[in-house]
């Protein structure tokens, strides 16, 4: 099963994403801050990372900067409540393939993840 890492500091939002992905058959890793998220990304090299931008310890952009120096290339989907300037900034990171603006629906989340990381491949 493909693994997806969810880096999101809001417990309820993280749970919503993780629950929906798990019930569809993904293996899900969860991180509540940028630092532990980065550690898990390096240790487990998930197929995709769902990344909140506003995070404690290491924010989403710093997370992406740190990830860029790694040889491991993940697919990153940003989940953000901050829509100002995000797209322009995100375009500098080739790993970022999608940006989801909060609030997001379960369908939206599953459609995008299903397209980017198909379960049966």
Partner 1 sequence: MEMEDKVQGSFTPNGNDSMFDLIRRVATTESDLQAALAGEIDAVIDPTNATPMLLQEAQETLRQSMMQYRRLINRVGATIFELELDGTTLFVNPAVTDATGYAPREIQGHNWWDVFTPGDLRAYADGFLEAVGKGDVTSYELTVRGKDGSFVFWEVNTANHYDREGKLLRILGFATDATRRKKAEEANELKSRFLAMISHELRTPLTSIKGFATTLLADEAGFTREEEHEFIGIISEEADKLTALIEQLLILTRLQAGNFKLKNEVLSIQQLLDVVRPKLDELCAKHKLSIHLPETPINLQVDKQRIATVLSNLIHNACKYSPFDTPITVNVHVCDGMAQFDITDKGRGIKPEDREIVFEAFYQVTKRPWGELHGAGLGLAICQGLVKAHGGRIWVQAQEPDSKGTTISFSLPISPPHS
Q: How far is CA 120 from CA 9, 29, 78, 101, 114, in A?
A: 30, 19, 24, 27, 10
Question: At closest approach, how far in Å is the CB of 62 from partner 1?
Answer: 9
Q: Which of residues 12-71 bind partner 1 (CB under 8 A)?
A: 12-13, 15-17, 19-20, 23-24, 53-54, 56-57, 59
- By CB under 8 A, is residue 118 in contact with partner 1? no
Q: Which is nearer to partner 1, 27 or 62 (CB)?
A: 62
Q: Do residues 56 and 34 lie in contact, with contact meaning Cβ atoms separated by under 8 Å? A: yes
Site track for partner 1 across 69-108, x = CB under 8 A: ------------xx-x-----------------xxxxxx-
Q: Which is nearer to partner 1, 17 or 49 (CB)?
A: 17
Q: Across the beta sheet with 3-7, what order do the strands follow?
A: 27-31, 3-7, 48-52, 75-80, 96-101
Distance CA 71, CA 108 (A): 30
Q: Which of 85, 109, 84 is nearest to 98 (CA)?
A: 109
Binding site for partner 1 (CB under 8 A): 10, 12-13, 15-17, 19-20, 23-24, 53-54, 56-57, 59, 81-82, 84, 102-107, 109-110
């Amino acid at each position: 099963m493909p693994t997806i890492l969810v880096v999101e500091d809001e417990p309820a939002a993280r749970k919503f994403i993780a629950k929906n992905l798990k019930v569809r058959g993904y293996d899900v890793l969860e991180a509540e801050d940028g630092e532990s998220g980065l550690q898990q990304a390096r240790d487990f090299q998930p197929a995709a990372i769902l990344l909140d931008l506003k995070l404690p310890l290491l924010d989403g952009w710093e997370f992406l900067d740190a990830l860029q120096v790694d040889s491991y290339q993940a697919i990153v989907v940003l989940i953000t409540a901050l829509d100002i300037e995000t797209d322009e900034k995100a375009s500098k990171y080739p790993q970022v393939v999608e940006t989801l603006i909060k609030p997001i629906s379960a369908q939206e989340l599953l459609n995008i993840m299903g397209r980017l990381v198909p379960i049966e491949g």
